[in-house]
Each structure stands twice: as structure tokens, then as C-alpha cells.
Chain A
């Protein structure tokens, strides 16, 4: 399983765009990149997933360069409720367990 590296913490202000970058230098050809969000005392929640280039949904965008050795989760105009831990995960097989790194603790300030 590819190991991921992401910043331990980030601070932002309401209304700003937040970009969280994840490194996964050993990503394999079949691996997908997926991001989860976790609020305190809750289970992780799926945010977005991608393989290459750019993926966008109603809550975030995911940018993946051509070499796929990193990815950037972009949260547009964050609010206080976006304060959470964000996990970057690399997954290569359907149904396999996730290996969680420490994640990025995002604090959104008023």
C-alpha cells in the first residue's frame, strides 16, 4: 500500500480556498486517490476520489498531476463547519482496508 504524506495541520479563515497537498511517491498504476473527512467523534466521510487530472464534485476538487506522485484537495470558500481532519488515501484494490495516515487537521477561523 502506498504511503502518503500530508501536512499535520492547517489554519484558514472563513471564505478562503484551502488546498491540502498529499504526497504519494510510490503510487502504483492501479491505485486511486481518495480523500475522507472526519469530524470529532464521527466516522470518516467520503469527499472525493480520482485517478488523474482533475475531478470536481459539489464539495471539492481534486487535482492530480501527470506523474500522480501527489494530489491536492481543494475546498472552495471554507466555512467554520469545514473544521475537521482530512485524510488522503491511496487504494489499489476493490474492498481492501484503508491504511490511515495522521491526516491534516484543518482549523477554519472566523
Chain B
């Protein structure tokens, strides 16, 4: 199947700083990518839909000014957590859908720890 990568796999940052997470589709083009957040022992929660060449669509309750999403190319979407706080510590996962089927390809996730 298709491969989606994320970078970094884990990151530790200090409170108040910003962190950028990259999501790449390695062998296919993705006009749409999804960003999920997962807290320990909980399920994945959709944060936003990243659209190539246009603004991202955010789910209710997700601050668009805090979680900046840029989908600059057909293979790359980035999520920037601005002015991170300890409560932003979580596991962030991106995915890209196969537009010819009902399957989605998930990245390996990025563990963010804000100290």
C-alpha cells in the first residue's frame, strides 16, 4: 500500500515555543490530508482537513491560529503548533485518503511533549 511519513517521530519543546510537524505522501499525491490528535488511552480525534492550495478546514474547538496547517504541495502538509503549552502534549497523526477507495493511509505519528 501507499506510504505516509511523518517527521519528526518525536519532539520535546519548551512552553511558548513553536513546533512544526511534517506529513509526506511518499509514493502518491494527496490533495487532501487529515490531521488527528490522540491523547493517552484515547481514540483519534480529527483536528483539521488540509487541502492543497487552499485553507485548511478546522474541526469545532480547534484553534486555527494555534495549529497552523500548510499544504503547499501534493505530497506535503505541515502542522505547526504555535506557542505550545503542556496541554498540547499529545500524539499527532496525519493521514491521506486513497481517493479511489475507502482506505486511508496513516503516518506513524509524532509524539509531542511540551515542558
Chain A residues proximal to chain B, CB less than 8 Å: 32, 34, 36, 41-46, 49, 87, 91, 94-103
Contacts and interface: CB of A to CB of B under 8 A. Distances in A.
Contacts of B103: 34, 46, 49
A94 B109 contact: no
A41 B100 contact: no
Contact of B99 (A32, A43, A91, A94): A94
30 contacts: A32-B102, A36-B106, A41-B109, A43-B6, A43-B93, A44-B44, A44-B95, A46-B103, A49-B101, A49-B103, A91-B102, A94-B98, A94-B99, A94-B100, A94-B101, A94-B102, A95-B98, A97-B34, A97-B46, A97-B95, A97-B97, A98-B34, A98-B46, A98-B95, A98-B104, A99-B46, A100-B43, A100-B45, A102-B43, A103-B43
